[in-house]
Amino acid sequence: MGILTRFAPSPTGYLHVGNIRTALFNFLIAKKSGGKFLLRIDDTDLERSKQFYEDEIKRDLEWLGIEWDLFERQSTRIDRYKEVFKTLKLQNKIYPCFETKNELDLKRKKQLNMGKPPIYDRSSLKLSKERLKQLEVEGEKAHWRFLLDSIKIKWDDKIMGKICIDLSSLSDPVFIKEDGQFLYTLASVCDDLDFGITHVIRGSDHLTNTATQIQLINILGGKIPSFGHHSLLIDVSGENLSKRLGSMSIRDLRSSGIEPMALNNLMSTLGSSNSPKLLHSLNEISEYFDISKFGAAPTKFDLKGLNLISSKILKDT
């Protein structure tokens, strides 16, 4: 079976340079190996997801020449997620919870005050059958959490090297909200397994998600993809770049006249020990690209550097 990678943005805002790094890495890995690249739109949050942003995401990728071979949208897969939810429920791997957001906030505050980590205390897991029935009769809506095992999850990360995460240090993640909305973890694992994703490259902010996802994959009985977590980009002042703040959006870079190949060149080596080279096509870039050369330290993104490469490209043409 060939390599299949994916880029899975939520259509809730414009893409920024950090997102493009993820997209590009996945695209280049597929291209380098003659594999395929999937664009998956993570739009289970119907309220925040907008067709407008999906169109903008596609426009940004097209501008950069990052072409997808396959396309999927999570909102069309809800029935499948419901099936998986049923399977987990039958195995008692998922349990209903009734705390409100305020109650949870309060619990967290108390734990922090006592110098404890703010991990969900599983109160709802201790509710009696009678109480659960009563809550149902009263029409209380549950959100559902995934029951994490008290085990350590280990994997050999394509970028970070050997990783070990103790699941007992994490809160049981919510898989389904009170309103029935499927959250990212279940949906993402379900898709990665069903579509046969072989490599998942994403930001290091997903490291703990990966640990819970590996437990879920083990329960569902799928093949664990190769995981790689790249460092996050920081700006010159050391702040994380955030999509929601719209900083360094691709849209802005495009309208400011930046050459798309400047961004592709910069992103394919920034934060790696591969020395920068000015290459003229994504084919050449994919041949030169080497995921194993990237490091774990936060990577500084400087607009000046990007402008410089862009003017070089313009001069050459």
- Give residue 12's identity as a one-letter amino acid code: T
Q: Which is nearer to ligand GLU, 41 or 94 (CB)?
A: 41
Is 21 a binding residue for ligand GLU by CB under 6 A? The answer is no
Binding residues for ligand GLU, rule CB under 6 A, total 8
**Site for ligand GLU contains 9 (CB under 6 A):** yes
Nearest Cα to 302, choosing from 221, 212, 255, 234?
Answer: 234
Phi, psi of 228 (to 5 degrees): -140, 130
Among 6-14, 80-88, 146-154, 167-175, the segment contacting ligand GLU (CB under 6 A): 6-14
The C-alpha atoms of residue 177 and residue 143 are separated, in whole angstroms, by: 5
CA dist., res. 118 & res. 121, Å (int): 9
CB contact set of 255 (below 8 Å; sequence gap of 6+) = none
Q: What is the largest CA-CA distance in the chain?
A: 75
Examine residue 172 and tell whether it contacts ligand GLU (CB under 6 A): no
Q: Closer to ligand GLU at the Cβ: 145 or 202?
A: 202
Select the span of 2-10, 29-37, 63-71, 254-262 touching ligand GLU (CB under 6 A): 2-10
User: CB 233 → ligand GLU: shortest distance, Å?
Assistant: 14
- When CB distances to ligand GLU are compared, the closest residue is 42
97: how many CB neighbours lie within 10 A of its CB?
18
Q: Position of tokens 């090297």?
A: 161
Does 54 interact with ligand GLU (rule: CB under 6 A)?
no
Instruction: Tell me how far apart the alpha carbons of residues 290 and 272 are, in angstroms, rounded to a whole number.
Output: 8
Q: What's the full length of the chain, in residues?
A: 317
Query: Which of 5, 10, 286, 310: binder of ligand GLU (CB under 6 A)?
Result: 10
Q: Which is nearer to ligand GLU, 47 or 130 (CB)?
A: 47
Q: Interface with ligand GLU by CB under 6 A: which range of 8-16, 28-36, 114-122, 303-311?
A: 8-16
CA distance 249 to 242: 9
198-227: which residues touch ligand GLU (CB under 6 A)? 202, 206
> Which one of 49, 124, 188, 286 is in contact with ligand GLU (CB under 6 A)?
188
Distance between CA atoms of residues 279 and 316, nearest Å:
11
Is residue 42 at the binding interface for ligand GLU, with CB under 6 A as the rule? Answer: yes
Residues that bind ligand GLU (CB under 6 A): 8-10, 42, 184, 188, 202, 206
